Amino acid sequence: MTTLEELAQAIELGHPNETEELVRKALEEGTDPVELVEEVMVPAMRVVGEKYKEQQVDIPGILSSARSVQKGFEAVKEVKADYQTKEHGTIILGTIEGDLHDVGKNLVAMMFRGAGFKVIDLGVDISEKQFLRAVKENPDVSIVCISSLLSTTNKEMKQVVKALRKKAAKESEPNLQDSGRRRCSNQRTCGKDWCRRLYRQLRRCSRNGKKIYIIVVPGRKR
């Protein structure tokens, strides 16, 4: 088995430390960092996604694989200081005020980082003011993701959406779009259908230079 094959396997099995070691080994062997990322690491993560769709891997398994990819990215950037990942856009992500659930948020963040998005993760229990401040401090942001599990946070979520609309109107940004809110009644369906459509929509909106906000309802407890 080649180093690259071992690397893909380590990611699929969710072994972060082994992934980091194999990335360093591959770079020492002269593997191009772009090839390493785009032809090995990202495809390996896609395999994990397909396995989840077929119920061959669970949420903890996906998180372990995503952490492995993140470890690999960090190793590439450390060894090749001039390497720059191709970013499709900037995402601000946070769990709404009054909600401390973060599994869905963390999974979305990891997946989008692996897909080439710059993700600014605000954490949990994030207020309207904190979301607006983050948007102000990051003028290049193209997407705002608001995560929630609890229905009791509906009011806070609506308030953040209203505030974003008001900000857009004030700054003459008619291209702010609402993707809509969708509660995931089936966790598996969310993972393989809605999230995939969401990803395509984000890529499309980022390429078109649109500013949008997305409300993500993970439907997943710790």
User: How many whole angstroms separate alpha carbon 159 and alpha carbon 165?
Assistant: 10
Q: Does residue 221 register a pLDDT over 60?
A: no
Sorted by where each starts, the structural domains of the chain and their CATH numbers stand as: 3-79 (1.10.1240.10), 90-216 (3.40.50.280)
What local confidence, expressed as pLDDT, does residue 185 receive? 36
Q: pLDDT tens digits, residue range 34-51? A: 888 888 998 898 898 888
Residue 191, pLDDT above cutoff 60 = no
Which tokens in the block code for residue 68?
């492995």
**Alpha-carbon span 149 to 184, nearest angstrom:** 10
Q: Which residues pair with 120 in a beta bridge?
A: 92
Q: Label residue 87 by pLDDT band (50, 70, 90).
A: low
Residue 150 has pLDDT above 90, yes or no: no
- What number of CA atoms fall less than 13 Å from residue 125's CA on the CB side? 2
Contacts 24+ apart (CB under 8 A), 20-25: 20/71, 20/72, 20/74, 20/75, 23/71, 23/72, 23/75, 23/76, 23/79, 24/75, 24/79
pLDDT digits (tens, 9 = 90+) for 162-189: 888 887 667 655 444 444 444 443 333 3
Q: What count of other Cβ atoms lies within 10 Å of the Cβ of residue 98? A: 16
pLDDT of 110 reads 73
Please give the pLDDT value at position 5: 95
Strands 143-147 and 118-126: unpaired
